[in-house]
Chains A and B, each alone.
Chain A
Amino acid sequence: MSCVQTFQDYAFRSLGYGERLLPRSDFTLCEQFTLIGSGLVWNIYFGALALFFGFFLATAVAVARNSSAWVVRKPAEWFIFVFRGSPLFIQFFLAYQAFVLLPRNGIELNLIFTHITAETGWLTRAWAGALVVLFLNTAAYSGEIFYGALRSVPKGDIEAADAYGMAGWKRFRRIVWPTMLRLAWPAYTNEAIFLFHATTLVYFSGFPAWQQKGDALYYANYFADKTFNPFIPYPIVAFYFILVTLAIIGLFGLINRRLNRHMPSESRPRLRIRPQVIR
């Protein structure tokens, strides 16, 4: 079987298209590259969506944590503490165990005007359940980063905004938020990289694979299990993840340039990807 044929059969296997049966014997390097690459689609799906949704919740959490009102600040602090203070591995496991306990045929929501049946079955599937966990997790981590940045927004900027008569939402939207993002961006880039790495845990703890549709590490594990040789599939995963990491650094670097475009060129911070700030 040629490599092109293998590619056609397995390139979208992780989504359920193509050949139904996974290769069982005579594993070629091409099969391993194709299937593991096909699984990578899920890693990118989890990482990109969790990052996107998490971004908004993180902003809200950071603002809440900076609030002077006790009722708003405390929940935000606890949210960050629980998700940053415990291993993602355990969070996945607990989430799965909790999701399967939800009633099968949905929860009856008795609103005043109407009955709504909330479906819960999909939460036990990795595409939704694991996404929820990753979303909350990254919101907590990024929330902490944004909070730190929020605290370091220069006082002068806010005073200047006041002098211009800006207040409330407008001041936040036009002055505080962009500055916060600019300050937080290097650390946030790290968070993005680690979030993508964390997506490999989805099928490793808690969430089961349906119809052998899994992520890159799931297929690598499949090959390691069948060939009894860990030295080929896992380095392939590593190779793919280096590519993903480089792509993230490139993309976030572009955004960083845009966020800093108004700064004088010497004081523009270069994006330094050092994992000391987060996680």
Chain B
Amino acid sequence: MKKLILGTAALALSAGMALAQDVVRLGTEGAYPPYNFINDAGEVDGLERELGDELCKRAELTCTWVTNDWDSIIPNLVSGNYDTIIAGMSITPEREEVVAFTQPYTPPSLSSYAALSDEVDLEGGVISAQTGTIQANHVVDTGATLLEYPTSDECVAAVRNGEADAVLADKDVLVPIVNEGDMVFVGEDTPLGNGIGMAFRKSDPELKDKFDAAIQSMKDDGTMNALIIKWLGEDSPRW
């Protein structure tokens, strides 16, 4: 009997929690164009900005945007500084041990190498990648020399100034850089990760479910694909 009362109390509390959470805080990095970046007006912009705003509208939630360094983006989620991560984060088993992911909103995307010339030794050379990403892990696995930087921009800069032979990053991030600059894609594209999803605290399943449903509805009516075309281009994989 006592157990039952406790159970209802917990239920009532978690219902209260959903109510209290009028404002959902979306955490992003703000340095990963075209997924998320700070535009010239100083606001968060990009695919995920538009996606997040649309998802909040569909889930009938009020949302605000918060930026946080990539380094500490998961610790700050689990300690409750914001409620979800929407920062081009690939779904990986290691991360799933700590956070709960929604279904992916972009299909498993490709990672590519970009370099100044196409005669680069991808296995014996120096490859730059962002610290704490699946790409950094992959470089270590291939046996190449990993050169780590805290942001993707610095990884690209390292190739330009000759520090690294090539950079490994999400293809969608490299496409505008290759199109507009002096760099070329090298080697095979590598599928890494299981697509990009939003991450939540494991103790927060209600909120996760709401966003999950919203993502599903966007996939169903084709708006998700339209967003992918708008921000990532025609060549990026779609649903």
Contact = CB atoms under 8 A, between A and B. Distances in A.
Direct contact, A vs B (beta carbon within 8 Å): yes
Interface of A: 20-22, 24-25, 100-101, 104, 124, 208-212, 221, 224-226, 228-230
B179 interface: no
B94 A210 contact: no
Contacts of B163: 100, 124, 208
Contact of A24 (B94, B128, B146): B94
B195 to A, nearest CB: 21
Contact of B75 (A22, A101, A212, A230): A230
B98 A228 contact: yes
A25 B97 CA distance: 10
Contact of B149 (A208, A224, A226): A208
B186 interface: no
B78 A228 contact: yes
A210 B131 CA distance: 11
B26 interface: no
B147 interface: yes
A212 B162 contact: no
A226 B71 CA distance: 10
A210 B145 contact: yes
A22 B131 CA distance: 14
A210 B146 contact: yes
Contacts of B137: 24
B71 A209 contact: no
A225 B149 contact: no
A224 B75 contact: yes
B148 interface: yes
B11 interface: no
B156 interface: no
Contacts of A210: 126, 145-147
A25 B94 contact: yes
A260 B127 CA distance: 54
A9 B146 CA distance: 19
Q: Which of A25, A208, A230 has the most CB of B within 10 A?
A: A208
Given A208-B147, A211-B146, A224-B75, A104 B162 contact: yes
B176 to A, nearest CB: 23
Interface of B: 71, 74-75, 78, 94, 98, 126, 128, 131-132, 137, 140-141, 143, 145-149, 154, 158, 161-163
Given A100-B163, A210-B145, A228-B78, 15 more contacts: A21-B141, A24-B94, A24-B137, A25-B94, A100-B162, A101-B161, A208-B128, A208-B147, A208-B154, A209-B148, A210-B147, A211-B145, A212-B140, A221-B71, A225-B71
A228 B161 contact: no
Given A100-B162, A226-B94, A212 B148 contact: yes
A100 B161 contact: yes
Nearest to A105: B162
B78 A225 contact: no
Contacts of B149: 208
12 contacts: A20-B140, A20-B143, A22-B140, A100-B158, A100-B161, A208-B154, A210-B147, A211-B145, A211-B146, A221-B71, A225-B131, A230-B75
A225 B72 CA distance: 7
Contacts of B154: 208
Contact of B146 (A100, A212, A224, A225): A212
Nearest to A205: B150
A210 B128 CA distance: 9
A230 B149 CA distance: 20
Contacts of B140: 20-22, 212
Contacts of B126: 210
Contacts of A230: 75
Nearest to B148: A209
Contacts of B141: 21
A263 to B, nearest CB: 51
A22 B137 CA distance: 10
B75 A208 contact: no
A195 B23 CA distance: 46
Nearest to A229: B75
A22 to B, nearest CB: 8
A97 to B, nearest CB: 9
A230 B79 CA distance: 11
A208 B136 CA distance: 13
